[in-house]
Amino acid sequence: MESLPLSLKVLLGFLYQAISGMGEPRKASNATRYRLRDPILGAFSAFFMQCESFLEHQRQMQSRQGKNNAQTLFGVIEIPSTPQIRNILDKISAEKLFVVFTWVYQALQKGGYLKPFQSLENHLLVTLDGTQYYRSSTLHCKKCSSRTHKTGAVTYSHGAILPVIVAPGLSEVISLAPEFITPQDGHQKQDCEIAAAKRWVTAHACDFMEQKVTLLGDDLYSHQPMCEHALDAGMNFIFTCLPDSHPALYDWLNYLDGIGEVHTLEVRQRNKRVQEIYRYRFVNKVPLRDTQPSLDVNWCELTITRESEAKVLYHNAFVTRHLLNAQTVAPVVEAGRARWKTENENHNVLKTKGYHLEHSFGHGQDHLASFLLTLNLLAFLFHTVLALVDQSYQRIRRQRGTRKGFFQDILALTKYLLFESWQHLLDFMLDDSPGSSAQNTS
């Protein structure tokens, strides 16, 4: 793949290429009206513009002007109806889109845009965290997970691992391909977050052949099978490790602490006007479990207090295979703490900042829910990339101030004015003087 300057045109090119490689899921028929790319790009455009009504606005523009912004900005030739989009997308596996995430990652890597995300001797930090994006007590499909409650009621849901690249000190996160928590062929048990995480590592380890990776995860991940799976894939890890779930490890720590083998480091840092004390404890090569064979891990803990108070502001502990000493323990803990960004900068944005992750845009009988989720993630990824690489996009976002205001502007403009391209829209927003050339649809 050639290294091209990243723009929405290039990003959409990745999506076009993925669509061109998809087999036609519909039976051959003279009644087939829409090319496969039209429903896919139509659904994507609604997510990218953060507006379910975007396609309806463009149908109205098409009737008035003979052209529309779904066509000029996203490449939609004919706009299908919402039921038609859902019926067609329900037949396409979301995995067909996963290659787009890989191509975007490779383009960012080749362009040097991921260097600010590197830490711990040039590792990328990849968080693994599951989230639920659909829940119902009635509507379900064969891809749903199910839970039977004590009352006998059954709840159906869809969940997924949403991996992202994070870095301490950076607000941006880079979305990677998801892995769905869904019943697996040949397995009697319900699928679970850890099984899905292992599948993701197996499927995507090859994407990072030339890049060192450290996985981040909560206490659910810090058990030997997952840790070994990460190491076998050539990845390191920093996973939260709590006493209740690791009694054997903490018995070892208590013993080592008693003979003075657990090291302590205190660092004072000023947070605004308040002096805070960062107290690190760490030790290398402790057994992760009591049954043999047991994986040796390195353990560290951070407790933050204020110098003037006894109150604990933060406390957490981690296991890793990064070597811990007085120079490395603070960066390792800082990397482990970056896991919270998957909630604040990823899940929270997707659920509450316009992408409406938990809203049911359509459930279907086969692949619709997962396919729509993947398109939504790609829309979020494309906006993140543009915020990193596109100077015009950066300027507009700075001028508009809020994410909500930016999307309100582009929706209002594209509802009434026709733009020849995305760059044309950005240029108009940067200079909306009388000389601007957007076409009025009246």
**DSSP line for 168-225:** TT----EE---EEE-PPTT--SPP-HHHHHHHHHHHHGGGGTTS-EEEEE-GGG-SHH
pLDDT of 254 higher than 60: yes
189 inside domain: no
pLDDT at 153: 86
Please compute the mean of the pLDDT values over residues 336-342 and round it to a whole number.
84
Q: Are residues 244 and 317 in the same domain?
A: yes
pLDDT of 145 higher than 60: yes
Please compute the mean of the pLDDT values over residues 326-344 and round it to a whole number.
88
Q: How confident is the model at residue 352 (pLDDT cuts 50, 70, 90)?
A: low
Tell me if residue 361 falls in helix, strand or coil. coil
256 inside domain: yes
pLDDT of 93 higher than 80: yes
Please compute the mean of the pLDDT values over residues 352-357 and round it to a whole number.
53
Tell me if residue 77 falls in helix, strand or coil. coil
Q: Residue 418: in which H helix or E strand, if any?
A: strand 417-418
Please compute the mean of the pLDDT values over residues 194-199 and round it to a whole number.
95
Considering only residues 198 and 51, tell me which one the structure prediction assigns the higher pLDDT.
Answer: 198
Q: How confident is the model at residue 186 (pLDDT cuts 50, 70, 90)?
A: low
Specify the number of domains making up the chain: 2
Query: What does the pLDDT look like over 239-250, one tens digit per residue?
Result: 999 999 999 999
pLDDT at 29: 61
Where helices occur in 296-361 by DSSP H, the ranges are 329-337, 341, 348-352
Q: Are residues 302 and 370 in the same domain?
A: no
Prior bond to 293 cis, omega within 30?
A: yes
Query: What does the pLDDT look like over 8-38, one tens digit per residue?
Result: 999 999 999 999 999 887 776 645 667 889 9
pLDDT of 433 higher than 50: no
pLDDT at 171: 85
Considering only residues 27 and 270, tell me which one the structure prediction assigns the higher pLDDT.
Answer: 270
Cα–Cα separations (whole angstroms), residue 370 to 22, 60, 181, 246: 16, 29, 10, 35
Q: Are residues 312 and 365 in the same domain?
A: no
pLDDT of 359 higher than 60: no
Q: Are residues 305 and 407 in the same domain?
A: no
pLDDT at 353: 54
pLDDT of 152 higher than 70: yes
DSSP 140: -
Q: How confident is the model at residue 156 (pLDDT cuts 50, 70, 90)?
A: confident
Q: How confident is the model at residue 441 (pLDDT cuts 50, 70, 90)?
A: very low
Q: How many whole angstroms separate alpha carbon 11 and alpha carbon 305?
A: 46
pLDDT at 223: 96
138 inside domain: no
Tell me if residue 343 falls in helix, strand or coil. helix
Tell me if residue 254 falls in helix, strand or coil. helix
410 inside domain: yes
Range of the domain at 391: 1-113+360-442
Q: Are residues 314 and 384 in the same domain?
A: no
Closest listed residue to residue 228, CA positions, set 106, 117, 319: 319
Closest listed residue to residue 314, CA positions, set 325, 306, 322: 306
Tell me if residue 126 falls in helix, strand or coil. strand
172 inside domain: no
Q: Are residues 4 and 83 in the same domain?
A: yes
Considering only residues 54 and 30, tell me which one the structure prediction assigns the higher pLDDT.
Answer: 54
77 inside domain: yes
Average predicted confidence (pLDDT) for the chain: 89
Q: Are residues 306 and 387 in the same domain?
A: no
200 inside domain: no
Where is the domain boundary, 308, 326, 344? 326
Q: Are residues 389 and 319 in the same domain?
A: no
Where is the domain boundary, 282, 302, 326? 326
Q: Are residues 90 and 9 in the same domain?
A: yes
pLDDT at 436: 46
Please compute the mean of the pLDDT values over residues 332-357 and round it to a whole number.
69
Q: How many helices (H) and strands (E) does the chain have?
A: 16, 16
Where is the domain boundary, 272, 305, 326? 326
Q: How many whole angstroms separate alpha carbon 319 and alpha carbon 408?
A: 44
Q: Which two tokens stand for residue 188?
A: 């009697």
pLDDT at 89: 94
Q: Are residues 313 and 387 in the same domain?
A: no
Q: Are residues 5 and 109 in the same domain?
A: yes
233 inside domain: no
Q: Are residues 10 and 92 in the same domain?
A: yes
Q: Which two tokens stand for residue 341?
A: 């960004």
pLDDT of 440 higher than 60: no
Q: How many whole angstroms separate alpha carbon 132 and alpha carbon 120?
A: 31
